[in-house]
Amino acid sequence: MSRGLYLATFATGAIVGSVVTWCFVKKKYERIAQEEIDSVKEVFAKKEFSSQVKEMTKAGEEVVKGLNDGIRQAAEQAKEKPDLVQYAAMVQKYGGTVGEEKEAPMKEKFPYVISPEEFGEFEDYEKISLTYYSDGVLADENNEVVDDVEDIVGDALDHFGEYEDDSVFVRCDERKCDYEILMDQRTFSEVAENNPRQVEVR
């Protein structure tokens, strides 16, 4: 073999060896570089997650603080309000149930029928006795005819027999009056022979 052939073979071997080494080294450093990139990505992901956790924790603390403030405020308001038991008793006394909306404004404005037990329960309400005769006349204690029946006692004359057969009780909050209406089987003309004038009661 000639010396040129040895040199060519040696050069070819060196080139092939360099190429193989270069490929091996390239793969190794690519792997190392990829590991570094993955490691950096993981660190950044952890930092981002950590910041998100901090934000969520802060938001949660604010919600808990808000709830505690609300509970404290509700407790303070509850101290200022009357006891629930007293409120329920008061509502029951006036014929309602707790949580039920009552038509108080209507009752304050117009006369309404009450039970016999409620008649005279308010000391500052005047108690007035009226008589309803069989001929449809309503008169006061002095046998003076009540002109505006509906304005004075509302529709009370339609409620005989609701509580008692011969009496109806009416309250007018606007006038602060409780009316007791007693039924009389006689006619008005039989009872009030010498009473020509007619006046309107309160």
Q: What is the mean pLDDT of residues 146-174?
A: 91
Q: Are 152 and 96 in contact (CB under 8 A)?
A: no
Per the listing, tokens 């007018």 go with 172
Mean pLDDT of 10-19: 76
Q: How far is CA 104 from CA 68, 97, 124, 159, in A?
A: 36, 13, 19, 20
CA count, 13 A, side-chain hemisphere, 51: 5
Q: What is the pLDDT of residue 105?
A: 43
pLDDT at 65: 80
More confident residue, 115 or 7: 115
Q: What is the mean pLDDT of residues 175-193?
A: 89
Q: Is 71's pLDDT higher than 50?
A: yes
Tokens coding 15 = 């080139």
**How much of the chain, in percent, has pLDDT values that exceed 70?**
75
Q: Which residues contact 129 (CB under 8 A, 6 or more apart)?
A: 140, 141, 179, 180, 182
Q: What is the DSSP letter of 145?
A: B
User: Cα angle vertex 197, ends 192, 199, to 5°?
Assistant: 105
What is the pLDDT confidence band of residue 38, given thresholds at 50, 70 and 90?
confident
Nearest-angstrom CA–CA distance, 112 and 178: 10
